[in-house]
């Protein structure tokens, strides 16, 4: 199933879009949900992760079709689909079939998955942008030579890895890294999201460093959509 977590504009905390987060339901009767970290690597080994990706993206397009036109959703694409040239035509067909503007769908690609085959990743990222989708570079800073990847991959947005954001208040090197990431991304004309914002003090530092968007437990937790339009739920989460 999908949960959705709001991503807010840093200046006024307005919801800009929602990130779709996959959860696996344990049908052995327990109410326990299994997080992607616990099943995606396994699905990759079993060769079923492309099917999961397609299910996630189809569900997101359906949510977009049912929601107001101002609602945008970001969904995560795994490394295996980044190597799949038929993913873009699949997505185009889904968007057209449901009458959804491609601009409302954002695609998150992690830095480490994009770098296992950079040429293929570049080709898919470019094809998705030609289609009209926005592409985010997720977990930015977690790989080696992140800035080199930023030069290579034509993404619209970087998402600073939560490990740097969680250390912002206590660790001066995290602050230095985050400041540099924001500065360079802005110089390159890219938007910056900070994930895993867990308290007000971190939020203050991020505002000072002029981050564009924020996501994390301090602002809103992932939620299960209660109705087919995400908009009223977002308002409820914010207040």
Q: Can you read off the two tokens belonging to residue 205?
A: 């530092």
User: Which of 86, 82, 63, 84 minimizes the C-alpha distance to 135?
Assistant: 82
Q: Binding partner of residue 167 among Mn ion, ligand G, none, CB under 5 to 8 Å per kind?
A: none
With respect to Mn ion, which residue has the nearer C-beta, 77 or 170?
Answer: 77
Using CB under 5 A as the binding rule, the residues of this chain from 172 to 211 that contact Mn ion are none
Q: Which of 56, 77, 107, 195 binds ligand G (CB under 6 A)?
A: 195
With respect to Mn ion, which residue has the nearer C-beta, 1 or 31?
Answer: 1
Number of Cα atoms under 13 Å in the Cβ half of residue 81: 27
Q: Which of 53, 108, 111, 212 binds Mn ion (CB under 5 A)?
A: 108
Task: Please state the length of the chain.
Answer: 239
Using CB under 6 A as the binding rule, the residues of this chain from 87 to 146 that contact ligand G are 139
| DSSP E strand boundaries for 64-179 | 73-77, 105-110, 134-140, 157-160
DSSP code, position 38: H
Q: Binding partner of residue 50 among ligand G, Mn ion, none, CB under 5 to 8 Å per kind?
A: none
Q: Does 138 bind Mn ion (CB under 5 A)?
A: yes
Applying CB under 6 A, which part among 150-158, 172-180, 190-198, 225-233 lies near ligand G? 190-198
Please name the residues in contact with 110: beta carbons below 8 A apart, sequence gap of 6 or more: 76, 79, 137, 138, 139, 142
End-to-end CA distance of the chain: 25
Binding residues (CB under 5 A) for Mn ion: these are 76, 108, 138
Binding residues (CB under 6 A) for ligand G: these are 5, 21, 35, 139, 162, 195-198, 216-217, 222
């Amino acid at each position: 199933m999908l949960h959705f977590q709001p991503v807010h504009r840093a200046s006024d905390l307005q919801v800009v879009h929602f990130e779709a987060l996959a959860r696996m339901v344990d049908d052995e009767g327990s109410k326990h949900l299994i997080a992607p970290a616990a099943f995606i690597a396994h699905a990759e080994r079993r060769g079923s992760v492309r099917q999961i990706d397609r299910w996630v993206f189809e569900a997101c397009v359906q949510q977009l079709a049912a929601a107001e036109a101002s609602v945008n959703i970001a969904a995560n694409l795994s490394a295996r689909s980044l190597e799949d040239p038929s993913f873009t035509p699949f997505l185009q067909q889904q968007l057209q079939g449901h009458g959804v503007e491609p601009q409302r769908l954002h695609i998150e690609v992690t830095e480490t998955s994009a770098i296992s085959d950079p040429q293929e990743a570049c080709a898919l990222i470019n094809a998705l942008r030609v289609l009209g989708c926005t592409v985010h570079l997720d977990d930015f800073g977690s790989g080696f030579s992140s800035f080199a990847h930023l030069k290579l991959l034509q993404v619209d947005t970087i998402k600073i890895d939560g490990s740097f954001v969680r250390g912002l208040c206590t660790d001066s090197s995290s602050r230095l890294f985050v400041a540099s990431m924001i500065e360079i991304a802005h110089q390159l004309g890219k938007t910056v999201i900070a994930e895993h914002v867990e308290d007000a003090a971190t939020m203050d530092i991020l505002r000072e460093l002029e981050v564009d968007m924020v996501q994390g437990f301090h602002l809103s937790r992932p939620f299960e959509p209660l109705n087919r339009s995400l908009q009223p739920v977002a308002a409820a989460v914010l207040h």
